[in-house]
Amino acid sequence: MQLPFIFLFGFILSTKQCSAARLVSVTSTGADGKSLVDLGNTFNSSMLKLVGHAFVNLDGNVKQQICKNVKCARWSSWSNCTTNSRIAFGYRKRTRRCWYSSSSECAQDGLVTIETDAKVCEGKCRGDYNVTANNFCLKLHYNTTKRPEAEKQCQSEGGHLMNADTKERWSDLSAFISHMGYKNIWIDGYRTSIKAPWTFASGSNPKNQQLDFWYSGEPSNNENELCLATDVRSGKRHWFDKSCKFKNSFVCEIRG
């Protein structure tokens, strides 16, 4: 904790014991609790030493409070539930790394301890679907097909193409298909012309939630690009408008 120089200088003058003291020079930026203790010793001032030790202890307490949570890294995201079945229970877990024997209060070094936290979760999806970290029921179809056929397939399973209309859905979708890399994936979103608004078969318009994951320059609004797909650019997944006649893999979601 740094003390203003004028405050420190006032203490020095108040001691009036300079006759037998060795002059100590302290810059305004270097003034701290230890400096006060040193000055107190130089001027034989109990008041300076008392105030100095108080600030030294205060610095230590503040540092201890700041660093007490630095011993461990942040928890990872919750894993998917271990069961998909609607009539079964499973668990999901998360982990974090901790350094309880680190070299200093704020350091993250030395022996690493891996801590695990788990909680019970209930299956809520049909058997061939996956439960995501936020309890959404998703299924990735690796086969490629045109967008209208993809939506029909999802409907036959009781759902629709995935609509990323919340931050949680977009996060889970991105994680769910992260292994697909640079491949176009059909998701929910369709318009009748490039001037018409986007419509969605399930959920709401992501725009209502102020969500915008369009890649730079998208939608490109070419005349036949009326369907919404997602792909990876610059290491992140984004939205693209594509021709509905393209054949892509797709993700279905069953809500409720």
Same domain, 161 and 247: yes
Per the structure, the count of domains in the chain is 3
Question: How far is residue 130's CA from residue 90's CA, in Å, rounded to a whole number?
Answer: 13
Looking at residue 3, what is its pLDDT? 46
Number of Cβ within 10 Å of residue 38's Cβ equals 15
pLDDT tens digit sequence for 94-153 = 999 999 888 877 788 889 999 999 988 776 788 889 989 898 999 999 999 999 999 999
Same domain, 146 and 110: no
Domain interval for residue 107: 69-123
Does position 11 have pLDDT exceeding 50, yes or no? Answer: no
pLDDT tens digit sequence for 55-107 = 556 555 555 555 656 788 889 988 877 776 666 688 889 999 999 888 877 78
Domain final residue, candidates 31, 49, 67: 67
Domain final residue, candidates 67, 83, 113: 67
Question: How far is residue 12's CA from residue 25's CA, in Å, rounded to a whole number?
Answer: 11
Same domain, 83 and 178: no
What's the predicted TM-score (pTM) here? 0.57
Same domain, 212 and 230: yes
pLDDT tens digit sequence for 197-253 = 999 999 999 999 899 999 999 999 999 999 999 999 989 999 999 999 999 999 999
Domain final residue, candidates 38, 67, 96: 67
Same domain, 117 and 158: no
Same domain, 190 and 249: yes
Supply the CATH number for residue 118's domain.
2.20.100
Same domain, 57 and 155: no
First to last CA, the chain: 55
**Helix/strand/coil for 142:** strand
Same domain, 118 and 141: no
Same domain, 148 and 178: yes
Give the model's confidence band at 46: pLDDT under 50 very low, under 70 low, under 90 confident, else very high.
Answer: confident
